[in-house]
Chain A
Amino acid sequence: MNSSAEVLIIGGGVIGCATAYYLAKKGIEVIVLEKNQIGEGGSSRNGGGVRQSGRDPRELPLAMYAVEHLWPILSEELGMDVEYYKKGNLRLAKTPAHIKILEGLTSRAQAVGLKVQMIDGEEVRKINPHLSDEVIGASWCPTDGHANPMLTTLAYYKNARKAGARFITGEKVLELKKVKGRIRKVITDHSEYEAETVILAAGFESRKIANTIGIDIPMQRVLLEALVTEAQPKMFEQMLGTAEADFYGHQSTHGSFVFGGSSGMDAYTSDYDRPVTTSFTASCICRGIMKYFPELAEAKIVRTWSGWIDECADKVPVIDKVEEVPGLIVACGFTGHGFGICPAVGTVLSELAMGEQPSIDISGLKYGRFKAKI
């Protein structure tokens, strides 16, 4: 079995699959190694937000590019409905303090050219009449939206595979090795692969793998939990979030509501070898939802789940060529908001792998940016 390729991608999540797709489409030989199965990590466990608003200006170019150029054509391009809705994002506020947070985010985003604005409670309910009176305002970005993360990941995978990318699942990467000054070998628990370029996109597990070649990215895993309801009659199409980012969600094409949320103890869960839901978070999310949407009180929860996000020290990802290790490209630390930018990330990663100048500004996402505070 030939175990070498021009580009080897570690991680069969949405970033790995998207990158494999854009590379394979250009005729590049790609191998994707996935420890578990396709879309196993955060790729299938997130709330599906395709947002620009609320983002750090450093990753905003990726978000804006994706929304402008990539998401609108994605279903057509991949020949599969990824359930993309460009119906806006409401980031909700219930207190003056929330308003303050949102105003800060909004003005920073406006400064880099995003069309986002603050609206009051009444305007919020004009957009989404189901929201309760507790909502006193929101930031409103009409070009934001949501998509189905599971379908998006699998659509990229399916098309990448069709275009010739070789996916191998069940391969756990143990070590990266340089040969003659360049990255070359990827050693797994079963065999060994070789490539000219290696893209590391393995979520929170990227850190451990990067460490094997002397690279470190300051990030940690944080457990996030989400839940889904039974199908409900169509209520609204926007993506929703809150000022404190403690609750987010949308109604899917299927009619079910997907909501994620935080219990406040997310960073302190036990250290198990698999993400396990806590006994209390889903209840907490429900209480949160009901404050915003009293009419969902009788909707039934059919499933809850949890997943680890790769939280970077400064909450934006590292997407960069690692100069120290020629041939190594790192794409991790997405901090729970990588899904919305995945088409753009896949695009720039494919460009980086081909030695091209990235078409989107990722200068704020460099590997070497982390410094002590004093």
Chain B
Amino acid sequence: MAKIIDRSISIGEFIPQPDDDLIICRCEEVTKGEIRRAVHDGMYTMTEIRRYLRTGMGLCQGQTCSKLVKGIVAKELGVPADQLEGGTSRAPVRPVEMKILANESEKEVSKHE
């Protein structure tokens, strides 16, 4: 169940920090500063951040950065990280070539492939 959040309640000004240039999402090269700024632009959920900045939308699908992004967003919002719902997970959990995904087969997978 989503929590009620009034997006007009102030979370304060965006204050630049020395480590804002730090890369957080390695795949999409999104920095800490960009994430923090996005929160001040009103992106309060992991999914909104993701759609706004592409964090976790790269090849690894957030395997490395999702926890880090969550921590940054939570800190910026002033809430505990475990109160933020993570982004959704979807198939495929590993990148799959189009021609493989297209090739649905009845042939069972055997031990010796």
Partner of A300, one of B48, B51, B88, B97: B97
Task: Tell yes or no: A271 within 8 A of B by CB.
Answer: no
Contact yes or no, B99 A297, CB < 8 A:
yes
Query: Shortest Cβ distance from B71 into chain A, in angstroms?
Result: 19
Q: Do residues B51 and A282 form an inter-chain contact, with CB atoms below 8 A?
A: no
From known contacts A154-B48, A167-B8, infer whether A277 and B91 are also in contact, taking CB-CB under 8 Å. Answer: yes
Q: Scan residues 256-288 of chain A and give those whose CB is less than 8 A from a CB of chain B.
A: 277, 280, 282-283, 286-287
B2 touches A36 (CB 8 A): yes
Judge whether B104 and A298 touch: CB under 8 Å. Answer: no
B26 contacts the other chain (CB 8 A): no
B101 contacts chain A at the CB level, 8 A cutoff: yes
Given contacts A154-B48, A290-B98, contact A169 B59 (CB under 8 A): no
Decide yes or no whether B31 CB sits under 8 A from chain A.
no
Contact: A166 with B8, CB < 8 Å?
Answer: yes
* Chain B residues whose C-beta falls within 8 Å of the C-beta of A157 in the assembled complex: 42
A151 CB–B CB distance under 8 Å = yes
Q: Chain B contacts of A150 at CB under 8 A?
A: 51-52
- Complex Cα gap A301–B97 (Å): 6
Cα A161 to Cα B3 with chains together (Å): 19
Interface size class of B (residues with CB under 8 A): 35 or more
Tell me whether chain B's interface is mostly helix, strand or loop, or mixed: loop
The smallest C-beta distance from B39 to any residue of chain A, in angstroms, reads: 11
- 1/0 per residue A47-83: CB within 8 Å of B? 0000000000000000000000000000000000000
A190 to B51, CA, bound (A): 28
In the assembly, what is the distance between CA of A299 and CA of B48, in Å?
26
Instruction: Flag whether B15 is at the interface (Cβ < 8 A).
Output: no
Per DSSP, chain A at the interface is mixed
Q: Are B42 and A286 in contact (CB under 8 A)?
A: no
Contact (Cβ within 8 A) A158 B44: no
Interface string of B55-89 (1 = CB under 8 A from A): 00111010000000000000000000000000010
Q: Could you say which of B51, B90, B92, B98 contacts A298, with CB atoms under 8 Å apart?
A: B98
Given A44-B51, A254-B54, A283-B102, also A300-B96 (CB < 8 A): yes
Q: Which positions in B face A, CB cutoff 8 Å?
A: 1-8, 41-45, 47-48, 51-52, 54, 57-59, 61, 88, 90-92, 95-99, 101-104
Identify 20 residue pairs between A and B in the complex whose beta-carbon atoms are under 8 Å apart, listed by A's number. A37-B44, A37-B48, A40-B47, A151-B51, A154-B43, A164-B8, A166-B6, A166-B8, A167-B6, A168-B4, A169-B44, A170-B1, A170-B5, A277-B90, A282-B101, A283-B104, A290-B98, A299-B98, A301-B96, A301-B101
Q: Which residues of A contact B (CB under 8 A)?
A: 1, 35-40, 44, 150-151, 153-154, 157-158, 161, 164, 166-171, 190, 229-230, 254, 277, 280, 282-283, 286-287, 289-290, 296-305
Given A298-B98, A304-B91, 6 new contacts (CB under 8 A) = A37-B47, A282-B92, A286-B99, A290-B98, A297-B102, A301-B101
